[in-house]
Amino acid sequence: MAAQVRARAVTRLLEGVCTLLWGFPPRLIAPAVGQLGPWRALGWFLGNMPRYERTLATFGPIRTHLLCVAISLVNGCQYCTHGHARALELAYLREHDRLFPLDELGFARLCGLGPAAIRHDLVHAAQRAGLHRDVRALERALTLVGAEQLGATDEDDLRIIHLVRMFGVLTSVGIRHRLAPDEAHSPLNRDHLLKQRYDALRATYG
């Protein structure tokens, strides 16, 4: 009984933090608390989320979410892929005033393909989007997913390695519990006008 009370308390706390950040409680939180245990889950999120936020500030939302999508795709997690693909598309629209070349269905179709196919399509989409400066980080992230050794070469590499390890845990939860997609894992999810504009453009141009 006490364990259940602790699990509910930690779940409510983490869902509340995510709701403040993103405007909704992610479906992943309760299964993560159940899978890791309440205290381990709390420690994991407290240890990883600030570092993730620093990467987001350093890389910017487009590069960060592009890497999160790449890692999630290679790991085979539809849930994490969708949340960060949606975040990537909103960030790209806000910054470039146009749609990213891949839509949500396009990202979903990549999930489950082999790493080589994922690399080809993601790199091609990034180049079409004009994200040439982000391709090196994208290719590095794709190389590190599943690698036995994660030796860092510089500070940016340390950030990518952290994302690989962090999403190793998150995607394991999403896959194990077969979580249905929810919303964009980004503060931009709170920007309702941006989301309406994105949906209208996708409806018009596909």
Confirm whether 50 is domain-assigned: no
In a domain? residue 28:
no
Q: How confident is the model at residue 147 (pLDDT cuts 50, 70, 90)?
A: confident
The answer to whether residue 188 is domain-embedded is: yes
Q: Which domain holds residue 122?
A: 61-205
Please compute the mean of the pLDDT values over residues 17-44 and round it to a whole number. Answer: 95
pLDDT above 70 for 7: yes
Say how many C-beta atoms besides its own lie within 10 A of residue 104's C-beta.
14
The CA R_g of the chain, rounded to the nearest whole Å, is 17
**pLDDT tens per residue across span 82-139:** 999 999 999 999 999 999 999 988 999 998 899 999 999 999 999 999 999 999 999 9
Output the six-digit token pair for 19: 């709701």
CATH of the domain at 84: 1.20.1290
Q: How many domains does the chain have?
A: 1
**Residue 151 pLDDT exceeds 80:** no
Tabulate helix, strand, coil % of the chain (nearest 5). 75, 0, 25
C-alpha 106/C-alpha 108 separation (Å) is: 5
Which residue type, as a one-letter code, is found at position 20?
L
Task: Return the residue matching tokens 């504009």.
Answer: 197
Assigned domain for 181 exists: yes
**pTM of the full structure:** 0.94
Q: Is 23 part of any domain?
A: no
Q: Let me know if residue 53 belongs to a domain.
A: no
**Residue 119 domain flag:** yes
Does some domain include residue 87? yes
Mind listing the pLDDT tens digit for each residue in 45-81? 999 999 999 999 999 999 999 999 999 999 999 999 9
206 has pLDDT over 70: no
